[in-house]
Amino acid sequence: MTTQANAIDFESYELLQDETCAQRIVAAKEKLGKKTVILAHHYQRADVYRHADLTGDSLKLSYLAAQTDADYLVFCGVHFMAEVADILSSPQQIAILPDLSAGCSMADMANLTKVERAWRELSEILNPDEKITPVTYINSSADLKAFCAEHEGIVCTSSNATKVLQWSFEQREKVLFFPDQHLGRWSGYKMNIPLDEMLVWDFDEPMGGLTKAQISKAKILLWKGHCSVHQMFQPQHIIRFRNQYPDGIVISHPECSFEVCKASDYVGSTEYIINTIREAAPGTRWLVGTELNLVGRIAEEFKAQGKIVQFMSPMVCMCSTMARIDPQHLAWSLENLVAGKIVNQIKVPDQEAQLARLALERMLLISK
Q: List the pLDDT tens digit at each of the 368 positions of the chain.
A: 667 667 889 999 999 999 999 999 999 999 999 999 999 999 899 999 999 999 988 888 998 998 999 999 999 999 999 999 999 999 999 999 999 999 888 999 999 999 999 999 999 988 766 789 999 999 999 999 999 999 999 999 999 999 999 999 999 999 999 999 999 999 999 999 999 999 999 999 999 999 999 999 999 999 999 998 899 999 999 999 999 999 999 999 999 999 999 999 999 999 999 999 999 999 999 999 999 999 999 999 999 999 999 999 987 666 777 778 999 999 999 999 999 999 999 999 999 999 999 999 999 998 77
- Alpha-carbon gap, residue 199 to 296, rounded angstroms: 35
Q: By C-alpha distance, which of 212, 215, 210, 203 is closest to 178?
A: 203
Is the pTM higher than 0.85? The answer reads: yes
Please name each of the domains of the chain with its CATH number. Answer: 10-103+321-347 (3.40.50.10800), 107-228 (3.40.50), 230-311 (3.40.50.10800)
Residue 367 pLDDT: 78
Contact between residue 80 and residue 104 where contact means Cβ atoms under 8 Å apart: yes
DSSP state of 250: E
- The sheet with strand 72-76 has its strands ordered as 54-56, 36-41, 72-76, 94-96, 345-346
Residue 251 pLDDT: 98
- Alpha-carbon gap, residue 254 to 277, rounded angstroms: 16
Residue 321 pLDDT: 76
Residue 318 pLDDT: 65
- Alpha-carbon gap, residue 12 to 21, rounded angstroms: 12
Q: What angle do CA 234, 232, 74 make, to 5 degrees?
A: 140
Residue 271 pLDDT: 94
| Residue 311 burial by Cβ neighbours in a 10 Å radius (0-12, 13-18, 19+) | buried
Q: What angle do CA 147, 150, 154 make, to 5 degrees?
A: 70
- Alpha-carbon gap, residue 110 to 340, rounded angstroms: 36
DSSP state of 312: S
